[in-house]
């Protein structure tokens, strides 16, 4: 499912790969964007929206050079 439960957004492990503004997410493992502090768990290197340790919302780097990153619209399933 592309949602999280009981307000626990950090537990989201869905497959949403498009941002709130409809940008396609880039793979986290791509070397040109790699920064250890912004690399989602290496177990999940795909291009899915994730919450990093320094963020409170799901986000991803985008494939659009004009929009380097964007937040994702991931909802709470329990609402």
Report pTM: 0.81
The structural domains of the chain, ordered by start, are: 1-79 (2.40.20.10)
Give 79: exposed, middle or buried? Use CB within 10 Å, 0-12, 13-18, 19+: exposed
Please report, in tens digits, the pLDDT of each residue of the chain (79 residues total): 788 888 888 888 889 999 999 999 999 877 565 555 555 555 566 899 998 888 889 999 999 999 999 999 999 988 7
Structure tokens at 46: 């795909």
CA gap 61, 49 in Å, rounded: 9
């Amino acid at each position: 499912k592309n949602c999280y439960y009981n307000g626990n957004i950090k537990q989201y492990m869905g497959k949403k790969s498009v941002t709130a503004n409809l940008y396609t997410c880039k793979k986290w493992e791509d070397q040109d964007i790699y920064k250890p502090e912004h690399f989602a768990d290496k177990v999940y290197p795909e291009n899915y929206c994730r919450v990093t340790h320094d963020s409170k919302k799901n986000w991803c780097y985008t494939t659009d050079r004009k929009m380097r990153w964007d937040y994702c619209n991931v909802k709470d399933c329990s609402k």
